[in-house]
Amino acid sequence: MSTPPSSSLLTVLDLVPFGQTGGESRYFALRISRPDWENWRPGQFVMLRPLSFGLEMPWARPFGICHMTTRHMICFFQVVGRGTRRMAELKAGDKIRVWGPLGNGFAVEPETPTLLLAGGMGIVPFVGYVARHPNPWNVSMLFGHRDPLSCYPVDSINEHVTLDTLQETVPGDLDNFIYTLQERIREYAEQKGLVLACGPLPFLKTVRSLALQYGARTQLSLENRMACGVGACLGCVTRTTKEWPVSEKREGLVQVCNHGPVFWAEQIEL
């Protein structure tokens, strides 16, 4: 059923800056040649390691798969550290070591009203999700962000589903966003819908507590520091609750990379 991961050396096709406003862009869509996987699921990720990292930066970096076509794969990233700074210098023709598809991916329930909640870069895996959902009219999205909308791949979401956006520019905006989250989660809980969330940790904590409060079926996509992406280094562990399906791992530690990155809200602590 699920495609086994593989490792390959792929070629950069192009690197497109997003939201450029005169200054240096911090947001990029990276298009690379398509890996030879048969299939993938939205919410899965890849480990990317440009050859230009040399021996100076030994780790690959995990990135959610933004989208894939028959010809290429797109990853979307924000420059946050030395790895992504180096990646912002990638050019067409450069080589990248890529392994994946990794992790489990989001639930897809075609007949269930589905609410996507994205915070900032958390929008990335939903690009592929809405493009591949069989009944996009059952899907809607709420997107909270700090930088201008042009920094994010929103157009590819808009094509498929209803998108509400809220930009946080002054402190009061956050309260407004949380209030909106609360209303939407309550609404989806009442109609027995599915809620999927991806974004920074404080955002996921808020979504999780609201989901548990209203009893909304909710999945959270976590991100974490990873060295291997395959379950070996034990760097990315997160704590489970007593709801975890495997008894010996209840209230224990599981790797985000190969037990997630998508988890049911009630099965993990945050």
Q: What is the closest distance, in whole angstroms, from the C-beta atom of residue 162 to other proteins in the complex? A: 37
Smaller CB separation from other proteins, 111 or 248 = 248
Smaller CB separation from other proteins, 5 or 261 = 5
Smaller CB separation from other proteins, 209 or 224 = 224
Smaller CB separation from other proteins, 133 or 223 = 223
User: What is the contact surface with other proteins in residues (CB under 8 A)?
Assistant: 4-7, 49, 55-60, 83, 97, 99, 224-225, 227-237, 248, 252-253, 258
Q: What is the closest distance, in whole angstroms, from the C-beta atom of residue 60 to other proteins in the complex? A: 7
Q: What is the closest distance, in whole angstroms, from the C-beta atom of residue 154 to other proteins in the complex? A: 30
Question: 3-class secondary structure for the chain?
Answer: CCCCCEEEEEEEEEEEEECCCCCCCCEEEEEEECCCCCCCCECEEEEEEEHHHCCCCCCCEEEEEEEECCCEEEEEEECCCHHHHHHCCCCCCCEEEEEEEECCCCCCCCCCCEEEEEEHHHHHHHHHHHHHCCCHHHEEEEEEECCCHHHCCCHHHHCCCEEEEEECCCHHHHHHHHHHHHHHHHHHHHCCCEEEEECCHHHHHHHHHHHHHHCCEEEEECCCCCCCCCCCCCCCEEEECCCCCCHHHCCCEEEHHHHCCEEEHHHECC
Smaller CB separation from other proteins, 142 or 228 = 228
